[in-house]
Amino acid sequence: MTTSSATSTWAAGDYPAMARRLAPAAERAVAAAEPGPGTTVLDVGCGTGNAALAAALTGAAVTAADPTPQLLAIAARRAREADLPIAFQTADADHLTGTYDRVLTVFGAMYAPDAARAADALARCCAPGGRIVTAAWTPDGFMAAANRAMGAYLPPPPAGAQPPTRWGDEAFLRGLFPGHAVTTTTERVRFTFDSPLAAAEFWVRTAGHVQAERARLQAEGAWPALHHDLAAVFTEWNRAAGPGTDPDVRVDAAYLLAVVRPVPDAVRRG
């Protein structure tokens, strides 16, 4: 289990509202994993349970892990309401236990501080003949651009910290799984909003790491500028037909979807 401030900020914003918009990515990842009755599934960084619930609906036996208890509680409530028997663990990617036929992580393990260690843990939990499926925002996509805009208003990351979007770089991801067969596709989550400012307000409302700095930014008078800068990113990335059309903002956020299979007798990191 981890209780670092980096993970606790996930509960500081209205992340569940963002999770509802990310559900198509979880469904896509589950489709790539092809679970079903008789298979076991581990969802790493499950958040409010999008992928775990989708996997459980196929009849698979699902375990869902996340270091943020508040999000796990929402996932557990959703599972109860849907009458899906999912097992939950408060754990980050470095503290996974058990072996599973399918190991999923949808925008989850990418936030682990040590990418190689997290990838090793995913590989360790994957049964022989099984499959790991990862989804991660690309380093040159919309999500990275939005994070850069917000990052200008946030404290600098810890020394040596690497961007989570490395997991969305195909070469980097392949390097995380030596001795595995890796296939990738670039997928997109489409976000629509009524205006760039409405988009920025939604983004800031759902971003816990920004909400955690809200009091300081408001005291410094930087809160409106943050929204302005973020709205400009939405304007730059907007692919809607133009003002007055419905929706007024349409942004496609690219992510790398990878299917990783252990190769028998492969040499792994020790």
Ligand X SMILES: C[S@@+](CC[C@H](N)C(=O)[O-])C[C@H]1O[C@@H](n2cnc3c(N)ncnc32)[C@H](O)[C@@H]1O
Q: 148 vs 228, which CB is nearer to ligand X?
A: 148
Max CA separation in the chain (angstroms): 59
Secondary element (H or E) of residue 125: helix 115-125
Q: 213 vs 248, which CB is nearer to ligand X?
A: 213
Kindly provide the residue ranges of all beta strands, DSSP E only, lying in 116-179, ordered along the sequence.
126-137
DSSP letter (8 states) at residue 178:
T
Q: Is 9 in the site for ligand X (CB under 6 A)?
A: no
Name which position in 9, 12, 13, 26 contacts ligand X (CB under 6 A). Answer: 26
Q: 19 vs 173, which CB is nearer to ligand X?
A: 19
Q: Is 10 in the site for ligand X (CB under 6 A)?
A: yes
Q: Of 80, 97, 98, 101, nearest to 37 (Cα)?
A: 101
Cβ–Cβ < 8 Å for 253, 143:
yes
Question: Is the CA virtual torsion 116, 68, 152, 146 positive or negative?
Answer: positive
Q: 167 vs 223, which CB is nearer to ligand X?
A: 167
Name which position in 28, 92, 149, 167 contacts ligand X (CB under 6 A). Answer: 92
Name which position in 88, 100, 107, 202 contacts ligand X (CB under 6 A). Answer: 107
Question: Which residues contact ligand X by CB under 6 A?
Answer: 7, 10, 19, 22, 26, 44-48, 50-51, 66-68, 71, 92-93, 106-109, 111-112
